[in-house]
A and B are shown apart, each in its own frame.
Chain A
Amino acid sequence: MEIWRLPISASQRGKLISAGYTTLSSLSSISSSDLARESKVSESEALDILKFASHSHSGGWEMSSGNCSIFEGAQNAWDMLHEEESLVHITTSSADLDNILGGGIHCKEVTEIGGVPGIGKTQLGIQIAVNVQIPHGFGGLGGKAIYIDTEGSFMVERALQIAEACIEDMSEYNRFIRKDFQACEIRMQPKDILGNIFYFRICSYTEQIALINYLDKFISEHKDVKVVVVDSVTFHFRQDFDDMALRTRVLSGMALKLMKLAKKFSLAVVLLNQVTTKHTEGSFQLALALGDSWSHTCTNRIVLYWNGNERYAYIDKSPSLRSASAAYSVTRRGIRNSSSSCKRIKMM
């Protein structure tokens, strides 16, 4: 392997090359003081370089005992399957939707949800932020939520409504399934649910990038965070950019960091996206915003759309789920299964 791979500065790399150290193996049996003298870097820099070199060297091809880690950092497919099966999904509160999603929103993955204005993106975002807190005893994650609001569309009153309905549903479930009231009494209050949603209001794309960089530290301090909802990932990137190439680079950097977060803390990342019109093959069609290269970055992509009288969710992209669509509805109590009968309900 070449020293290009080492995370060192350009000038250090230049010095190493001019001193003749072009491969990692050439660095493997040299002392730091020799390296410092020959390539004219300081002793401490030389020590760092050697540390990086030995690290990436052993990370590369060295065999180790035990079949679980032949390659450091790798995991075999069988183990991955077991791990995936043991993961709890975050329910969307609509059984049909959960069904096509393979149980709900997946942890360790980035899920993008897009749709036209008013289709229920923010509603789904709030619902997920509430549902992630359903305790283990009820088949939930018992986690906390981070809600990153870039548009100012988070409505705390609505979150309260959804939280109240969620608690009602849980006590209903309790009465129905368990019958013994003491076993798993609900000590959760709507206020507790709201208290477990960490709300960040973002006013520019710089803040958005900064926050996503900072999340790593924040979540290390709040280990029980199990979902990060970004509503919407698009807004600031749609307004403030002239240089599209820069936008693509910055966005993909951000997506990578989110993916890393999802894996590292085994949490779900939900990105809400807006739609735009796109001109293809002579006609205008709706498409999710941020362009083609962005569409590669998310693991799962769900598009919400109107189909006749009903709201539908469609799995546009997923490595593990087949493409399917399911109806859902947005009710006073939150996201629910679609009531197929189109009756007109009188409110209030």
Chain B
Amino acid sequence: MANKMISEIPLPKSIANVFAARNISTAKDALSLTEFELMELLDVGLTEVRSALSQISEIVAPPYQTALSLMEQRFQNEHLGGHFPTGLKGLDAALCGGIPFGVLTELVGPAGIGKTQFCLKLSLLASLPTNYGGLDGRVIYIDVESKFSSRRLLEIGLRSFPEIFQMKEMAQEMAGRIFVLRPSSLSEFTQSLQQIKVSLLQNQVKMLVIDSMAALVSGEHEQGVRRQQTLSWHISFIKSLAEFSRIPVVVTNQVRSQSHDEASQYSFQEYLSCAAQSRDGIVETPTRYDSHLVAALGIHWAHAVTTRLVLEAKSGQRFIKVAKSPISPPLAFPFHITSSGISLLSDEGMELMGPEINSIHCQGHNEIINFRMESLV
């Protein structure tokens, strides 16, 4: 609606002509200017500008829905009320049924923790018929790090759903629904996103996986501001993709070590802690996050994801944590990875407090992986 032509808006003839003469052709052009800039540019009075703007605004503004109708509509039109079950019961219960449709869900964690394994399992699940808990549709898997393994995918399938994957033609059909794209640069990635947008609806695509988002930029730019700007178009675009097609979108993110000048405090917090010190007479070192790892994509990206799941290892045990979710409290579930893919060791989540929620631990999970690999062979 933002690019609506002003000529299509029923304005009084005289003022419509002035807009056309000054080359203000879309609603976006008109609304990006202040009232006074328009008065100068169009050479008309304030009342005319105001009434024209309010007419344009009324047409451009999207219609409202009550939250009630939104809910009813979701439950009527959407499979499972708009949530895609991950098969991890505890996690599904916390997330109100699973990974939500229409928004971004992020998996973040250290290398080798099981992000890709989780993604493989999810794409497999999405391709399954609905009576097996799947979405019965195609999956687009954007494999940036070249880690997608079709052998592993079929192995997970065979171990988790033997009744389907033991039949060769069924296995072929399920695996045939998962389309893997391998962009090698940011510009290729941009291209494939634009292609996806066109074909998403016609092709019964029910899930989009991007593994990983961080790998795309870390190779091309060094650090900081530049990176944020490069990605902001993508963030916005992927969000709108998810939104208009109402499919779950799962994106992975890497971790990096926290640099020493990393911002984790507001300026007033220093002031507050100083005030507390002078009052109590105790010298306290300000509490800083003592975690060594942070998500590779910065705070701007973190704002954009709706659900953030952190995968971490702590004293030899792997945990999946709901670090950010509009519906779930921060919970941690222990998990392990077996030949049938990722599975929870307990469906009871432990509630987390404070900095625990966002910290990413990486202790001793390498041993577990080696051990498992041996047991697989």
Residues of A that sit less than 8 Å from B by CB: 7-12, 48, 116-118, 122-123, 126, 146-147, 151-161, 191, 194-207, 209-211, 213-214, 216-218, 232, 234-236, 238-240, 246, 249-250, 253, 274-278, 280, 283-287, 303, 305-310, 314, 316, 323, 325, 330-332, 342, 344-348
Q: Closest residue of chain A to B93, judged by CB?
A: A348
Near A by CB (< 8 A), chain B positions 110-128 give none
A/B interface sample: 8 pairs, CB < 8 A: A151-B304, A152-B102, A157-B96, A210-B27, A239-B233, A284-B263, A286-B265, A348-B348
- Judge whether B357 is part of the interface by a CB distance below 8 angstroms: yes
**Nearest B residue (CB) for A277:** B263
**List of 4 A-B pairs having minimum Cβ-Cβ separation, nearest first:** A309-B354, A7-B46, A118-B324, A213-B57
CB proximity of A257 to chain B, nearest CB, Å: 10
Partner of A122, one of B70, B90, B323, B326: B326
Q: Is the CB of A161 within 8 A of B327?
A: yes
Are B326 and A155 in contact, CB atoms less than 8 angstroms apart? yes
Give the residue among A118, A207, A235, A277 with the most B Cβ atoms within 10 A: A118
Residues on the B chain within 8 Å of A214, using CB: 54, 57-58, 61
Among B44, B94, B242, B303, point to the contact of A9 (Cβ < 8 A).
B44
Does B351 have its Cβ within 8 Å of any Cβ on chain A? yes
Q: In the bound complex, do residue B64 and residue A200 qualify as a contact, i.e. CB atoms below 8 Å apart?
A: yes
Q: CB within 8 Å of A: which of B77-132? A: 81, 90, 93-94, 96, 100, 102-103
Instruction: Give the Cβ gap from B70 to chain A, nearest Cβ, in Å.
Output: 5
Distance in angstroms from B251 CB to nearest chain A CB is 14
Q: Which residues of B contact A (CB under 8 A)?
A: 1-3, 27-28, 31-32, 34-35, 37, 39-40, 42-48, 53-54, 56-62, 64-71, 74, 81, 90, 93-94, 96, 100, 102-103, 232-233, 235-236, 239-240, 242-243, 261-269, 272, 287, 298-300, 302-306, 308, 323-324, 326-327, 329, 331, 347-351, 353-358
**What CA separation (Å) do A147 and B323 show in the bound complex?**
24
Chain B neighbourhood of A207, CB < 8 A: 1-2, 60-62
A286/B327 in contact, CB under 8 A: no
With A8-B45, A239-B235 as given contacts, are A287 and B266 in contact (CB-CB < 8 Å)? yes
Verify B100–A305 contact, CB threshold 8 A.
no
For B358, the chain A residues whose CB sits under 8 A away are 118
Most B CB contacts (10 A, CB to CB) among A10, A210, A249, A342 go to A210
Minimum distance in angstroms from B102 CB to a CB of chain A = 7
Q: In the bound complex, what is the Cα–Cα distance between A323 and B271 (angstroms)?
A: 12
How far is B40's CA from A331's CA once the two chains are assembled, in angstroms? 53
Pair B67/A348 contact, Cβ less than 8 Å: no
Selected from A197, A217, A308, A310, the residue in CB contact (under 8 A) with B66 is: A197
- Are B299 and A199 in touch, CB under 8 angstroms? no
Q: A207-B60, A246-B32 are in contact. List 17 more A-B contacts (CB 8 A).
A: A10-B39, A118-B308, A118-B357, A152-B243, A155-B96, A206-B60, A207-B1, A213-B57, A214-B58, A240-B236, A274-B303, A276-B299, A276-B300, A286-B299, A314-B268, A347-B331, A348-B347
Question: What is the chain A residue whose CB lies nearest that of B298?
Answer: A277
Residues of B within 8 A of A286 (CB): 263-266, 299
B288 to chain A, nearest CB (A): 11
Bound-complex Cα distance A70 to B67 (A): 46
Could you say which residues of chain B place their CB within 8 Å of the CB of A347?
Answer: 94, 329, 331, 348-349, 351
Residue ID in chain A nearest B44 by CB atoms: A9
Report the minimal beta-carbon distance from B191 to chain A, rounded to whole angstroms.
Answer: 19
CA distance A9 to B39 in the complex (A): 6
A156 touches B70 (CB 8 A): yes
Chain B residue nearest to A315 (CB atoms) is B268
How far is it, in angstroms, between the C-alpha of A207 and the C-alpha of B268 when the chains are bound? 34
Hey, which chain B residues are within 8 Å of A331, CB to CB? 329
| A199 and B62 alpha carbons, distance in the complex (Å) | 10
Beta-carbon contact of B57 and A210 below 8 Å:
yes
Knowing A249-B34, A285-B266, the reply to whether A156 touches B67 (Cβ < 8 A) is yes
B232 contacts A238, C-beta separation under 8 Å:
yes
What's the nearest-Cβ distance from chain B to residue A298, in Å? Answer: 16
Question: Which chain A residues lie closer than 8 Å to B268 at the CB level?
Answer: 303, 314, 316, 323
Residues of B within 8 A of A204 (CB): 2, 28
Cβ of A17 to closest chain B Cβ, rounded Å: 15
Contact partners of B54 in chain A: CB under 8 A: 213-214, 216-217
Return A204 CB to nearest CB of chain B, in Å.
Answer: 4
CA distance A209 to B66 in the complex (A): 21
List the A side residues contacting B3 at CB < 8 Å.
206
A residues within 8 A CB of B57?
A: 209-211, 213-214
| A156 lies within 8 A of B71 (CB) | yes
The residue of chain B having its C-beta at the shortest distance from the C-beta of A222 within the complex is B64
Q: How far is the CA of A207 from the CA of B27 in the complex (A)?
A: 9
